[in-house]
Structure 1
Amino acid sequence: MSSLENVLYIQVGLGLLPNMFLLFFYNFIILGDRPKPMDLISCQLTFVHIMMILSEGDNLLANILESLKFGNDIKCKITFYINRVMRGLSICITCLLSISQAVTISPSTSSMAKFKNKVKKHIIYAFFYLWSFNLSFSSRWIFYVAGFTNVSENYQMKVTKSCSLFPMNYIFRGFILTVIISRDVFLVGVMLTTSTYMVIILCRHQRQCKHLHSISHLRASPEKRATQTILLLVVFFVVMYWLDFIISFTSILFWRYDPVILTVQKFVMYTYPTIAPLVQISSDKRIIHILKFFTPNTSRFSKK
């Protein structure tokens, strides 16, 4: 068990560093001249990933609240609520990222082309709606999570070392699970649909390029690189999200959390926020140029 927890702590550190770098980078871009809608969405997603990592279990946010002399109940309610809000925002903003890129690369002759000029104008309204929905929908956890006392007497389900869930009414629990499953199936369906659409656009563009030029002269455009990155993120997100969802759904359905299963679930949940920024950094030429600028040029020293 301790080895699993050590791996989890290493994963948390590996997830925070690139996300903090990306957050700083996107804020710098946004404060500059004419940020792209994709930069705004990526900045939101990076912030959500940072907060999701910090608020999981007995991590940094819980330690900060404890140092501020918050009671165990208040600490559990705040961290659990923030974590659930961020998990909901993660799937929503990833879906928004996929939709925006599909609209961006759509040809001028397609029906989606008319939305290109509207994306930037309405992106703020989309953020407001997504944040409002997830903040309100996850508020139920404030009433059902508390400091851990005694599982056998109070029928609580332990979810961290110091926090537990109170049992919900079967009808209410069924209603909540139905809403969550419906939301997730819809959003994942939209992501898969837009991903399929982007793959078709890329394949069509590739055939046209091969027809006009030789393969040796083909170079990936920024739009193509961005699309390939988002496709990779969406596919990876869908796999990790449903693994996490199956574990969570099974635990809540049978009202039982095993410490090993809980640690594995955290590892699965951290995987996407850890890998996503690395994929974004390695595929964004702006970031690569910045890293090259700060990287020492060893070749000139070797010549001497």
Structure 2
Amino acid sequence: METSELLLGMTFFSLSIIGIPGNFTLLYHYIYIYITRCMLRSTDWVLMHLIVANILTLLCKGVPKTISFFGFKDIFNDMGCKWFSFVHRVSRGACIGSTSFLSVFQEVTISFRISRCSEFKVRIHKCICCSVYLNWVIYLFTSSICFVHMRAKHGNESTTNLKSFIYCYAVRHDPTSDILYTILLTGPDMVLLGLMLWASGSMVLTLYRHKQMMKYMSRTKASSRSSPESRATKTILLLVSTFVSFYTISSLCQFFLSLLYNPSWSLVNMAEMSSLLFPTLCPFLLMSQDCRASSYLKRNRHFPKPSDQEQN
């Protein structure tokens, strides 16, 4: 095994071994809140979908990549390649969709002060719920093309019309088909990314205006009313900015992979690695900003007393 392959294998292993337990810990935290309090905030509900998408991405990309770099190249048959590629595409779409709807929901919350209008809040929550589920359905449909394009490495003697992706092959087509295939896969991504950027820009403007208003208002009144919303907004903006940074790199790599007839080994690995960065960092960004998650992790280092649970 070459040194470069060993380093890449260790990198993918590190991303997987850090990201999977981190996401499962945060998912368990939200499930614990739901069981003990029988309710979740709307943002928490969307974050659960994001965490599930992160877990699926790490399982479908991080684990197979790690195994393949340690010498086990032919780990999938044809159906294995098709299903793992399909699930990865769906989870990637669910990730961008959840992040986008999360930013849109928070923008509407701080713009229209939903906390003062419970009926409007319920309607927006239902709309976001339907949008998240619809997003899963759309990506289930568009990602089904993986069942046509993906092949296993073993059992395919002729690789003339196949692109190599470490442990699987993708069928080559003419340039027109490749462009249409790229548009089909990236079209929904661009729409959701546009919504995300619009919502994030609106939130930045709202926070700026609020900061200007604080100069003319009592500091105690302003902080008591807006500090929870401001903290939630800043958390989502941090999440969105991190996602957009990694997603831009991943999308550029995926774009060139779709168009190039014979993509290089380094480009393939860069695309795979960039798709794992956000799912790995996401739970730690959320835990660092969510005081409930931090207190939950500290409390569960030891067995909690019944009285402590009742107070929380």
Could you say whether these structures have the same fold, taking a TM-score greater than 0.5 normalized by the shorter chain as the test? yes
Answering whether residue 281 of structure 2 is matched by residue 275 of structure 1, we say yes
| Corresponding residue to 2:188 among 183, 192, 199 | 183
Query: Any stretches of 5+ residues in structure 2 without a counterpart?
Result: 69-74, 303-312
Q: Is the 2:62–2:276 Cα contact (8 Å) retained in structure 1?
A: no
Question: How many angstroms apart in 2 are the aligned matches of 1:153 and 1:145?
Answer: 12
**How many Å separate the matches in 1 of 2:271 and 2:95?**
16
Structure 1 Cα separation of the partners of residues 157 and 97 of structure 2: 34
Alignment length, in residue pairs?
Answer: 286
SS at match of 1:59: helix
Query: Matched residue of 1:56: which SS?
Result: helix
CA shift for structure 1 position 34: 2.5
2:205 matched residue in structure 1: 200
% identity of equivalent residues: 27
**2:23 corresponding residue in structure 1:** 19
TM-score normalised by structure 1 residue count: 0.84
Aligned pairs (5 A) from 1:35-46: 35-46=40-51
| 2:81–2:152 contact (8 Å) kept in structure 1 | yes
Equivalent-residue separation in structure 1 for 2:186 and 2:79 (angstroms): 28
Any conservation in 1 of the 2:29–2:296 contact (CA below 8 Å)?
Answer: no
SS at 1:257 equivalent: coil
- Out of 6, 9, 30, the residue aligned to residue 5 of structure 1 is 9
Contact 1:57 1:79 in 2 (8 A): no
- How has the CA–CA distance of structure 1 residues 18 and 96 changed in structure 2, closer, same or farther, with 3 Å as cutoff? same
Instruction: After TM superposition, give the deviation of residue 27 of structure 1 in Å.
Output: 1.8
2:239 to 219, 233, 237: 233
Q: Does 1:244 align with 2:244?
A: no
Q: TM-score, normalised by structure 2?
A: 0.82
1:92 counterpart residue number: 97
**Structure 1 residues 86 and 278: alpha-carbon distance in aligned structure 2, compared to 1, 3 A threshold:** same
Q: CA deviation at 1:223?
A: 1.5
Alpha carbons of structure 1 residues 45 and 77: separation in structure 2 relative to 1, 3 Å = same
Cα distance, 1:169 vs structure 2: 4.5
Corresponding residue for residue 299 of structure 1: none
Decide whether aligned partners of structure 1 residues 290 and 58 sit closer, same or farther in structure 2, where only a CA change above 3 A counts: closer
Question: Is this contact kept in 2: 1:30–1:40, CA < 8 A?
Answer: no
Counterparts of 1:94 and 1:151, CA distance in 2: 42
The answer to whether the 8 Å contact 2:161/2:171 transfers is yes
Q: 2:126 is matched with which residue: 121, 143, 153?
A: 121
Q: CA deviation at 1:91?
A: 1.1
Equivalent positions of 1:1-304 (< 5 A) are 1=4, 2-31=6-35, 32-56=37-61, 59=64, 72-108=77-113, 116-149=121-154, 153-161=159-167, 163-213=168-218, 221-295=227-301
CA contact (8 A) 2:164 2:170 kept: yes
**Structure 1 residues 152, 251: CA separation in 2 closer, same or farther (over 3 Å shift)?**
farther
Partners of 1:48 and 1:89 within 8 A in 2: yes
The equivalent residue for 2:305 is: none
CA distance in 1, matches of 2:48, 2:253: 29
Q: 1:102: Cα distance to partner?
A: 0.8
User: Hey, what does 2:306 align to over in structure 1?
Assistant: none
The answer on whether the counterparts of 1:156 and 1:167 sit within 8 Å (CA) in structure 2 is yes
Aligned to 1:302: none
Gap change, CA 1:113 and 1:180, over 3 Å in 2 = farther
Q: Could you say what secondary structure the match of 2:112 adopts?
A: coil
Q: CA deviation at 1:208?
A: 2.4
- Secondary structure of 1:203's counterpart equals helix
